[in-house]
Amino acid sequence: MATSDKTKTRDAGKTKARILAAAKKEFAKHGLAGARVDEIAERAKANKRMIYHYFGSKEDLFQVVLEEAYLDIRTAEQKLDLDNMPAMDALEKLVRFTWAYYLKNPEFITLVNSENLHRARHLKKSKLIPEISAKFVGMMDELLDRGVREGTFRLGLDPTQVNITIAAIGYYYLTNRFTGSIVFDRDLTAPEALAARIEFNVETIKRLVAA
């Protein structure tokens, strides 16, 4: 008989995955310091002991959550297939993708914020992150070169600055949408506001790179 009838059967992989998902939520919501291990256990419907069994400590769990988050966005980026269209279109696609990813995965932003509050001390220990980052950086290198060859991009642009700027104009808007809505006295999270922002961002980047 199959073991899937009663979900009470033991499954280390699934339990681990449930803990990771719960931890991601909790860390994203409260940051590393504000997150509660008991809360993660409850949300994951796992015993707290399991967290220490699989991940060792709260900090180690945070590191795994963070690595998975980076892995996820970098993997999605690789799937964009930016080589089969004009460089300017590819760049626009990347700007829209980045925005959409942040919108759909708000935990990514809060996790990265939390990690920077801790001066990237968990990311520094990671072997995985430099590897996948190199590919991501190379992507923009090639895209800018191609744009110059196609005559649509100006010469001498620093790929890192462009990458940072694309992230910045989306990330900042979203991470600071709560204080921003008060400062600018308008609901920055309204669908129309979000739609207006991504169009503005596309325009900003196009003007930035234009020949």
Partner DNA sequence: GAAAGAAGTAACTAGTTAGTGCATTATTGG
Partner DNA sequence: CCAATAATGCACTAACTAGTTACTTCTTTC
CB-based contact 183:194 (threshold 8 Å)? no
Q: CB nearer to its own copies: give 17 or 117.
A: 117
Q: CB nearer to DNA: give 33 or 155.
A: 33
Q: CB nearer to DNA: give 39 or 72.
A: 39
* Binds DNA by CB under 7 A, chosen from 17, 59, 75, 195: 59
Task: Identify each DSSP E strand in 94-202 by its residue range.
Answer: none
CB-based contact 73:99 (threshold 8 Å)? no
Residue range at the interface with DNA (CB under 7 A); choices 3-11, 74-82, 149-157, 189-197: 3-11
CB-based contact 173:59 (threshold 8 Å)? no
Residue 136 binds which one of DNA, its own copies, none, with CB within 5 to 8 A depending on kind?
Answer: its own copies
Task: Return the ∠ at Cα 135 (arms to 58 and 210), rounded to 5°.
Answer: 120
CB-based contact 53:88 (threshold 8 Å)? no
Task: Identify each DSSP E strand in 1-120 by its residue range.
Answer: none
29 binds DNA (CB under 7 A): no
Dihedral of CA atoms 31, 109, 168, 154 in degrees, nearest 10, equals 140
148 binds DNA (CB under 7 A): no
CB-based contact 32:62 (threshold 8 Å)? yes
Residue range at the interface with its own copies (CB under 8 A); choices 45-53, 75-83, 100-108, 184-192: 184-192
36 binds DNA (CB under 7 A): yes
Residue 210 phi/psi, 5° resolution? Answer: -55, 140
21 binds DNA (CB under 7 A): no
- The rounded distance, in Å, linking the Cα atoms of 47 and 40 is 9
196 binds its own copies (CB under 8 A): yes
> Applying CB under 7 A, what is the total number of residues that bind DNA?
20
1 binds DNA (CB under 7 A): no
Phi-psi region of 190 (alpha: psi -120 to 50; beta: other; left: phi over 0): beta
Residues of the shown chain interacting with DNA in the complex, contacts defined by CB under 7 A: 3, 9-12, 15, 35-38, 46-50, 52-53, 57-59
Residues of the shown chain interacting with its own copies in the complex, contacts defined by CB under 8 A: 30-34, 110, 112-113, 115-117, 119-120, 123-124, 129-130, 133-134, 136-137, 158, 160-161, 163-165, 167-169, 171-173, 175-186, 196-197, 200, 203-204, 207-208, 210
